[in-house]
Amino acid sequence: MAKVITFGEIMLRLQTYDHQRLIQATELEATFGGGEANVAASLAGYGHDAYFVTKLPDNLVGAWCQSELRKYNVKTDYIARGGERLGVYYVEKGASQRASTVTYDRAHSSISTAQPEDFNWDVIFNDAVWFHFTGITPALSDGAAALCLEACKVAKNKGLTVSCDLNFRKKLWTSEKAGQVMGGLMEYVDVVIANEEDADRVFGIRAKATNITSGELSDEGYRDVARQLVKRFGFSHVAITLRESISASINNWSALLYDGKEFYKSKKYHINIVDRVGGGDSFGGGLIYGFLEQYSTQDTIEFAVAASCLKHSIEGDFNLMSVQEVRNLMGGDGSGRVQR
Amino acid sequence: MAKVITFGEIMLRLQTYDHQRLIQATELEATFGGGEANVAASLAGYGHDAYFVTKLPDNLVGAWCQSELRKYNVKTDYIARGGERLGVYYVEKGASQRASTVTYDRAHSSISTAQPEDFNWDVIFNDAVWFHFTGITPALSDGAAALCLEACKVAKNKGLTVSCDLNFRKKLWTSEKAGQVMGGLMEYVDVVIANEEDADRVFGIRAKATNITSGELSDEGYRDVARQLVKRFGFSHVAITLRESISASINNWSALLYDGKEFYKSKKYHINIVDRVGGGDSFGGGLIYGFLEQYSTQDTIEFAVAASCLKHSIEGDFNLMSVQEVRNLMGGDGSGRVQR
Amino acid sequence: MAKVITFGEIMLRLQTYDHQRLIQATELEATFGGGEANVAASLAGYGHDAYFVTKLPDNLVGAWCQSELRKYNVKTDYIARGGERLGVYYVEKGASQRASTVTYDRAHSSISTAQPEDFNWDVIFNDAVWFHFTGITPALSDGAAALCLEACKVAKNKGLTVSCDLNFRKKLWTSEKAGQVMGGLMEYVDVVIANEEDADRVFGIRAKATNITSGELSDEGYRDVARQLVKRFGFSHVAITLRESISASINNWSALLYDGKEFYKSKKYHINIVDRVGGGDSFGGGLIYGFLEQYSTQDTIEFAVAASCLKHSIEGDFNLMSVQEVRNLMGGDGSGRVQR
Amino acid sequence: MAKVITFGEIMLRLQTYDHQRLIQATELEATFGGGEANVAASLAGYGHDAYFVTKLPDNLVGAWCQSELRKYNVKTDYIARGGERLGVYYVEKGASQRASTVTYDRAHSSISTAQPEDFNWDVIFNDAVWFHFTGITPALSDGAAALCLEACKVAKNKGLTVSCDLNFRKKLWTSEKAGQVMGGLMEYVDVVIANEEDADRVFGIRAKATNITSGELSDEGYRDVARQLVKRFGFSHVAITLRESISASINNWSALLYDGKEFYKSKKYHINIVDRVGGGDSFGGGLIYGFLEQYSTQDTIEFAVAASCLKHSIEGDFNLMSVQEVRNLMGGDGSGRVQR
Amino acid sequence: MAKVITFGEIMLRLQTYDHQRLIQATELEATFGGGEANVAASLAGYGHDAYFVTKLPDNLVGAWCQSELRKYNVKTDYIARGGERLGVYYVEKGASQRASTVTYDRAHSSISTAQPEDFNWDVIFNDAVWFHFTGITPALSDGAAALCLEACKVAKNKGLTVSCDLNFRKKLWTSEKAGQVMGGLMEYVDVVIANEEDADRVFGIRAKATNITSGELSDEGYRDVARQLVKRFGFSHVAITLRESISASINNWSALLYDGKEFYKSKKYHINIVDRVGGGDSFGGGLIYGFLEQYSTQDTIEFAVAASCLKHSIEGDFNLMSVQEVRNLMGGDGSGRVQR
Amino acid sequence: MAKVITFGEIMLRLQTYDHQRLIQATELEATFGGGEANVAASLAGYGHDAYFVTKLPDNLVGAWCQSELRKYNVKTDYIARGGERLGVYYVEKGASQRASTVTYDRAHSSISTAQPEDFNWDVIFNDAVWFHFTGITPALSDGAAALCLEACKVAKNKGLTVSCDLNFRKKLWTSEKAGQVMGGLMEYVDVVIANEEDADRVFGIRAKATNITSGELSDEGYRDVARQLVKRFGFSHVAITLRESISASINNWSALLYDGKEFYKSKKYHINIVDRVGGGDSFGGGLIYGFLEQYSTQDTIEFAVAASCLKHSIEGDFNLMSVQEVRNLMGGDGSGRVQR
Q: Which chains touch D (3 or more CB pairs under 8 A)?
A: A, B, C, E, F
Rounded to an integer, what distance in angstroms lies between the CA atom of residue C85 and that of residue F84? 14
Q: Is the minimum CB–CB distance between B26 and chain F shorter than 8 Å? A: yes
CA-nearest residue to A60 within chain F is: F322
pLDDT of residue C215: 47
Min Cα separation C62/chain E (Å) = 28
What mean pLDDT comes out for the span D67-95? 98
Q: Is the dihedral of CA F226, F227, F232, F238 positive or negative?
A: positive
Rounded to an integer, what distance in angstroms lies between the CA atom of residue D289 and that of residue D304? 8
List chain D residues with CB under 8 Å of B31: 26
Q: Which pairing describes strands C263-265 and C250-258: parallel, antiparallel, or unpaired?
A: antiparallel
Cα end-to-end span (Å), chain C: 29
Of B54-63, C193-202, D149-158, E111-120, the range with the lowest mean pLDDT is C193-202
List chain A residues with CB under 8 Å of E60: 21-23, 90, 92, 101, 103
* DSSP classification of residue B248: S
* Side chain identity at residue C164, one-letter code: C
Min Cα separation A64/chain C (Å) = 15
pLDDT tens track for D227-236: 999 999 999 9
Q: Is the minimum CB–CB distance between A84 and chain E shorter than 8 Å? A: yes
CA-nearest residue to C103 within chain A is: A340
- Binned at pLDDT 50, 70 and 90, residue F39 comes out as very high
List chain D residues with CB under 8 Å of A24: 26
Kindly list the distances between the CA atom of residue B102 and the CA atoms of B91, B137, D29, E5, E205, in Å, as whole numbers in the listed order.
5, 18, 19, 45, 64
Q: Is the minimum CB–CB distance between A95 and chain B shorter than 8 Å? A: yes
What mean pLDDT comes out for the span E283-296? 98
CA-nearest residue to D25 within chain A is: A26
List chain E residues with CB under 8 Å of D105: none
Contact E215 F335 (CB under 8 A): yes
Min Cα separation C260/chain A (Å) = 30
CA-nearest residue to C25 within chain E is: E26
The share of chain B scoring above pLDDT 90, in percent, equals 92
pLDDT tens track for C255-303: 999 999 999 999 999 999 999 999 999 999 999 999 999 999 999 999 9
Q: Is the dihedral of CA F310, F312, F313, F314 positive or negative?
A: positive
Q: Is the minimum CB–CB distance between F274 and chain D shorter than 8 Å? A: no
Contact B325 A249 (CB under 8 A): no
List chain A residues with CB under 8 Å of E85: 105, 107
Rounded to an integer, what distance in angstroms lies between the CA atom of residue F303 and that of residue F269? 12
Residue ranges for chain A with pLDDT beneath 70:
208-217
Q: Is the minimum CB–CB distance between B67 and chain E shorter than 8 Å? A: yes
Alpha helices (H) in chain B, listed in sequence order: 35-45, 60-71, 121-124, 136-140, 142-157, 175-186, 196-203, 219-233, 279-292, 297-311, 323-330
CA-nearest residue to A69 within chain E is: E23
Out of B24, B100, B249, name the one closest to residue C339 (CB).
B100
pLDDT of residue C227: 96
Query: What ipTM does the predicted assembly reach?
Result: 0.95
Contact D70 C71 (CB under 8 A): yes
Q: Is the minimum CB–CB distance between B72 and chain E shorter than 8 Å? A: yes
Q: Is the minimum CB–CB distance between A26 and chain D shorter than 8 Å? A: yes
CA-nearest residue to A92 within chain E is: E60
**In the predicted model, is pLDDT for residue C135 greater than 70?**
yes
What mean pLDDT comes out for the span F181-193? 98
pLDDT tens track for D156-189: 999 999 999 999 999 999 999 999 999 999 999 9
For residue F331, report the phi and psi dihedrals to the nearest 5 degrees.
Answer: -80, 0
Q: Is the minimum CB–CB distance between B86 and chain D shorter than 8 Å? A: yes
E-facing residues of D in 116-135 (CB < 8 A) are: none
Kindly list the distances between the CA atom of residue B116 and the CA atoms of B77, B120, B144, B153, D283, in Å, as whole numbers in the listed order.
17, 8, 9, 13, 49
Min Cα separation E17/chain F (Å) = 10
What mean pLDDT comes out for the span E274-303? 98
Are the beta carbons of A16 and E28 closer than 8 angstroms? no
Nearest-5° angle of CA D338, CA D339, CA D340? 105
Kindly list the distances between the CA atom of residue A58 and the CA atoms of B202, B218, E128, F44, F293, in Å, as whole numbers in the listed order.
68, 66, 44, 18, 24
What mean pLDDT comes out for the span B47-52? 98
User: Would you say the pTM of this structure is higher than 0.95?
Assistant: yes
Per the prediction, chain D carries an average pLDDT of: 95
For D225, left (φ over 0), alpha (ψ -120 to 50), or beta?
alpha
**In the predicted model, is pLDDT for residue E216 greater than 70?**
no
Min Cα separation B24/chain F (Å) = 9
Min Cα separation B246/chain C (Å) = 5
pLDDT of residue E215: 47
pLDDT tens track for F25-38: 999 999 999 999 99
pLDDT tens track for D194-224: 987 899 999 999 876 555 554 455 788 899 9
pLDDT tens track for C207-220: 765 555 544 557 88
pLDDT tens track for D232-251: 999 999 999 999 999 999 99
List chain D residues with CB under 8 Å of F94: 313, 336, 338
Q: Which of D1, D58, D60, D67 is the best residue to mutate to test the C interface, defined by the most C CB atoms within 10 Å of its own CB?
A: D67
Are the beta carbons of F317 and F34 closer than 8 angstroms? yes
**In the predicted model, is pLDDT for residue D93 greater than 90?**
yes
Min Cα separation D98/chain E (Å) = 5
pLDDT of residue A215: 47
Min Cα separation D90/chain B (Å) = 8
pLDDT of residue D22: 98
Helix or strand (DSSP H, E) at B133: strand B128-134
What mean pLDDT comes out for the span E89-109? 97
Q: Is the minimum CB–CB distance between F271 and chain E shorter than 8 Å? A: yes
pLDDT of residue B218: 76
List chain D residues with CB under 8 Å of C67: 71-73
CA-nearest residue to C248 within chain A is: A336
pLDDT of residue F215: 47
- Which residues, 6+ apart, have CB-to-CB distance to D159 below 8 Å? none
- Which residues, 6+ apart, have CB-to-CB distance to C184 below 8 Å? C149
- Binned at pLDDT 50, 70 and 90, residue B211 comes out as low
List chain F residues with CB under 8 Å of A68: 71
pLDDT tens track for C173-203: 999 999 999 999 999 999 999 987 899 999 9
**In the predicted model, is pLDDT for residue B215 greater than 50?**
no
Min Cα separation F113/chain B (Å) = 39
Q: Is the minimum CB–CB distance between C67 and chain F shorter than 8 Å? A: yes
Q: Is the minimum CB–CB distance between F143 and chain E shorter than 8 Å? A: no
Cross-strand partners of D238: D192, D258
Q: Which pairing describes strands A3-7 and F161-165: parallel, antiparallel, or unpaired?
A: unpaired
For C19, left (φ over 0), alpha (ψ -120 to 50), or beta?
left
What mean pLDDT comes out for the span D272-299? 98
> Which residue in A68, A70, A76 sits closest to A32, CA to CA?
A68
Min Cα separation B28/chain D (Å) = 5
- Binned at pLDDT 50, 70 and 90, residue E96 comes out as very high
**What secondary structure does DSSP assign to B255-280, as a single string?**
EEEE-SS-EEE---EEEE-S--TTHH
* Side chain identity at residue D47, one-letter code: G
List chain B residues with CB under 8 Å of F24: 26
List chain E residues with CB under 8 Å of B70: 70-71, 73
List chain F residues with CB under 8 Å of E23: 71-72, 320
pLDDT of residue F340: 84
Rounded to an integer, what distance in angstroms lies between the CA atom of residue B13 and that of residue B29? 8
Rounded to an integer, what distance in angstroms lies between the CA atom of residue B141 and that of residue B126? 26
Are the beta carbons of E77 and E43 closer than 8 angstroms? no
List chain F residues with CB under 8 Å of C103: 59-61
Q: Is the minimum CB–CB distance between F97 and chain B shorter than 8 Å? A: no
List chain F residues with CB under 8 Å of B22: none
- Binned at pLDDT 50, 70 and 90, residue E207 comes out as confident
pLDDT of residue E218: 76
